Chain A
Amino acid sequence: MKEMILMLALALFMVAIFLNLYRVIVGPSMPDRAIALDTIGVNLISAIAIVSIVLTTKAFLEAILILGILAFIGTIAFSKYIERGTIIERNRNN
């Protein structure tokens, strides 16, 4: 029962990532693609969690936090680029 649920979960992550890839490719504007890539990152986090149950190892659990942080930093940097055109602004004291 549990193994069946886990395999079903992995198959469903595959389908979900393909649906998000459709939005990445087709999506009419740039923020659509960024949001869909963020959702792909979230799906990858949960897929890593399920895979670490299937393989009965704890070695992959640190990757969850790292992927979460990387997805958040990527989303913030991309939204600053969309809004202002730069990611890190220069100071305007002069």
Chain B
Amino acid sequence: MTILANILVIFFISVGLIFIAVTAIGLFRLPDLYTRAHAASKSSTLGVMCILLGVFLHFWLNEGHFNPGILLGILFLFITGPVGAHIMSRSSYLAGVKPWKGTVRDDLKEEFERMKKEQGIK
């Protein structure tokens, strides 16, 4: 039973570590803000969820302590990580950060121009 629990814990923590490493490399190498926000939101959310699930299983199966706070943390990170990245990249588009020069289509641009023309501001 202990061996099985340790295998589960090590598996979840290793998967989380892989995703955290992918996040760091993506933030280091990708060319513009939107691709970096893509890397930072998705893979770091999944990585920290896997690590917290491994820690929760360790405290539950090895030490007999069921901690609902970690489950609440997993749920909260799952909800707020992508929402935070979405709001940040949308506000940076409205503030005028240009996409990478190899971007093929830009759907928000026409909507943004139309919105500016209707409101007559900026």
Contact = CB atoms under 8 A, between A and B. Distances in A.
Interface of A: 1-2, 5-6, 8-9, 12-13, 15-16, 19-20, 22-23, 29-32, 34-36, 38-39, 42-43, 45-46, 49-50, 52-53, 56, 58, 61-62, 64-65, 68-69, 71-72, 75-76, 78-80, 82-83
How many residues of B sit at the interface, in one of the four size bands? Answer: 35 or more
B61 interface: no
Contacts, number: 143
Interface in B1-21: 6, 9-10, 13-14, 16-17, 20-21
A34 B89 CA distance: 10
A5 B89 CA distance: 35
27 contacts: A8-B17, A12-B17, A12-B20, A16-B23, A20-B24, A22-B28, A31-B88, A31-B97, A32-B36, A34-B88, A35-B85, A36-B40, A38-B88, A42-B48, A46-B47, A46-B48, A58-B59, A62-B69, A65-B69, A65-B76, A68-B76, A72-B84, A75-B87, A79-B91, A79-B92, A82-B91, A82-B92
